[in-house]
Structure 1
Amino acid sequence: MQIGFVGTGRMGLPMVRRLIAGGHQVRALTRSAESRDVVAAEGAEAVADISEVGLDSDVVIVCVFTDEQVLEVCLKGTLIASMPPGSALVIHTTGSPATATEIAQRAKPFGVRVVDAPVSGGPHNIAAGELTMFAGGDPEVVEQVRPALQCYGDRILPVGALGNGQRVKLVNNALFAAQIGLLREGVRLGAELGIDETTLLGALPYASSNSRVLTGVAARGSVSAFSTAVGEFVDKDVAVVRRVATELGSELGLIDEVIGSRFDSAGVSAPTA
């Protein structure tokens, strides 16, 4: 497949690497000579104009950091207009379901269809081909893009209509943040009971309280160290889920109370000992 790619950063570059290893031809957007050299060294074609990314592409993948950047890339430039009819646009960025819907409406007259497929995992999961993706959109389009996505993901989970990928991911990230908050409270309780954090984290991963978050915290050595490592990404996603819930007339309820022990409404709170 000919694949266009936007967002060759921490997550995107290893995706490009896996796509090329899977036999696909990749044309990636680059903004600097340095990034152009890095992308070219991986075997991808580096282009500086967004309109070149979509040319002759079967699939274009967008993996930027924020919802605002997705809108900038997809709606304020010539990306969609440059894509051939019948091609598909995949959005990996976690954001509002409304963004995917707005982009799909803009893409429809050009014969371009959209899948929102936010990801769960990190660069190490991409490198191992073990990323999880929640794919929202027409089942036919999800299958159309599967040969590309399966290069770096082993769980491409169809979750229904366009926008549902974002909805599932936002719930996932709210729970992820809440689990960090619960662990912080657990460490506090342990300290009050006379158990230091190192001892607690050495024992709990072998008990019924274990989770992926607990395993990650134990590997980092403390809740604060883990929170610092993931804070930039979780902070962004918590802000999105709060905003989306409010827009839809809902609320996070008890989840938000637990998140509050790690995150406040303005963003990530300062890590504590």
Structure 2
Amino acid sequence: MSQTSIGFIGLGTMGEPMATRLLASGHHLHVFDLNTAAVDRLVALGASVCTSALDVSNKAEIVFASLPTPNVVEKVALGPDGLIHGEKVKVFVDLSTTGPRMAKYISENLATADIIAIDSPVSGGAAGAAKGTLALMVAGPAQAVQLVQPMLQTLGKVISCGELAGLGQTMKLVNNLVSVTALAVSSEALVMGVKAGLDPQVMLEVFNAGSGRNSATVDKLPRAVLPRTFDFGFTTALSLKDTRLCLDEAEAMGVPMPVGSAVRQVLNMTNATFGPDADFTRIACLIEQWAGIEVPTRKNVND
């Protein structure tokens, strides 16, 4: 596999550490991003720079992408300078979160150019990308998935969601909805307890020893809220985007999501209050403002 030419498009918060891990595992990468500083860091590690998505697809048989929005993914895959016009690319692996309908649309269009699309959105945040402990929700033709699996395993745990395009995206959306819902309700509980006089560290200890344990009480709250760093590594805008995509898909399928809709409203208010670039753990700050109390600072338990 190390002899297969690989491309990587999108060197942002998630893309750069993933590309770095692929380089460290012995793969040579052809990279492209509008952020020249990120490109320079990868080139310093041995990657080759490309001038466009098309340039990448003219040099690499397998192209990975980690991009912020469905529209950007569509442009990179199908635009005038997109992968679809590439001379060498055979497999496109989308690590972004686009939603199942976009994944199906891209897959169908790339198929006309004999390019196989695999949707493989990831979960685990920037820390998981750096450590290689992501969960990768993979959907696509079995033979193509088998081809890229050794590369994906460099990034984390590969979980097959089926062969139909978009199933990985559906899994990612429902996973992220569960994650942000846990953050929202755990933040409410934490603020309520503090206002009643409970120690927040004691609250987390009880949550994590009992039935209240979840990804927010185990990781997000102790890592980013109690130290008041609010730097988990996932913006409010991206969380809101994923939640909207999930609810849109649920509505199209006729699945009611009243709890998810309430969480979207909380994210909307967090976005309006702290801005789209604020970390989504700022949800806790919104609850604090409403309650008129601040969770006291605690040293990061991971320090």
Give the partner amino acid of 1:240: L
How many Å apart are 1:221 and its aligned residue? 3.9
Mapped contact 2:243–2:264 kept (Cα < 8 A): no
Aligned counterpart, 1:158: 160
Mapped contact 1:5–1:29 kept (Cα < 8 A): yes
How many Å apart are 1:198 and its aligned residue? 4.1
Q: Distance in 2 between matches of 1:213 and 1:136?
A: 27
Aligned counterpart, 2:292: none
Distance 1:246 1:269, change over 3 A: farther
- Larger mean CA deviation between 92-101 and 220-229 belongs to 220-229
Mapped contact 1:239–1:267 kept (Cα < 8 A): no
Mapped contact 2:78–2:110 kept (Cα < 8 A): no
1:57-206 correspondence to structure 2 within 5 Å: 57-76=60-79, 77-84=81-88, 87-153=90-156, 155-160=157-162, 161-191=164-194, 193-206=196-209
- Larger mean CA deviation between 112-121 and 90-99 belongs to 90-99
Matched, 1:262 2:266: yes
Q: Distance in 2 between matches of 1:219 and 1:242?
A: 28
Q: Distance in 1 between matches of 2:194 and 2:37?
A: 48
Matched, 1:251 2:236: no
Give the partner amino acid of 1:25: H
Q: Can you give the 5+ residue segments of structure 2 that lack an aligned partner in the other structure?
A: 275-284, 289-303
Distance 1:48 1:224, change over 3 A: same
Give the partner amino acid of 1:100: A
- Larger mean CA deviation between 108-117 and 48-57 belongs to 48-57
Distance 1:262 1:84, change over 3 A: same
Mapped contact 1:16–1:44 kept (Cα < 8 A): no
Consecutive aligned runs of 4 or more in structure 1 exceeding 4 Å deviation: 223-229, 265-270
Matched, 1:240 2:233: no
Mapped contact 1:205–1:218 kept (Cα < 8 A): no
Distance 1:9 1:221, change over 3 A: closer
> Deviation digits for residues 59-102 of structure 1, max 9, x if unmatched?
100101111110111111232221436x2101111122111111
Mapped contact 1:11–1:122 kept (Cα < 8 A): yes
Give the alignment's TM-score, normalised by structure 1: 0.88
Q: Distance in 2 between matches of 1:73 and 1:261?
A: 31
Q: Distance in 1 between matches of 2:188 and 2:43?
A: 47
Q: Distance in 2 between matches of 1:124 and 1:40?
A: 22
Mapped contact 1:60–1:90 kept (Cα < 8 A): yes
Q: Distance in 1 between matches of 2:50 and 2:186?
A: 45
RMSD over equivalenced CA pairs, Å:
2.5
Give the partner amino acid of 2:73: V
Q: Distance in 2 between matches of 1:111 and 1:92?
A: 20
> Deviation digits for residues 6-55 of structure 1, max 9, x if unmatched?
10111111111111122211000133543442221121001112211012
- Larger mean CA deviation between 181-190 and 195-204 belongs to 195-204
Q: Can you give the 5+ residue segments of structure 1 that lack an aligned partner in the other structure?
A: none
Residue identity over aligned pairs, in percent, reads 25
Q: Distance in 1 between matches of 2:216 and 2:84?
A: 38
Q: Which of 28, 45, 50 is residue 47 of structure 1 equivalent to?
A: 50
Q: Distance in 2 between matches of 1:64 and 1:112?
A: 19
Aligned counterpart, 2:280: none
Mapped contact 1:64–1:70 kept (Cα < 8 A): yes
Mapped contact 1:91–1:116 kept (Cα < 8 A): yes
Matched, 1:37 2:40: yes
Distance 1:164 1:253, change over 3 A: same
More strand by share: 1
Give the partner amino acid of 2:136: M
- For these two proteins, the number of residue pairs brought into alignment is 270
Give the partner amino acid of 2:10: G
Helix, strand or coil at the partner of 1:55: helix
Q: Distance in 2 between matches of 1:34 and 1:192?
A: 45
Helix, strand or coil at the partner of 1:101: helix
Q: Distance in 1 between matches of 2:231 and 2:51?
A: 36
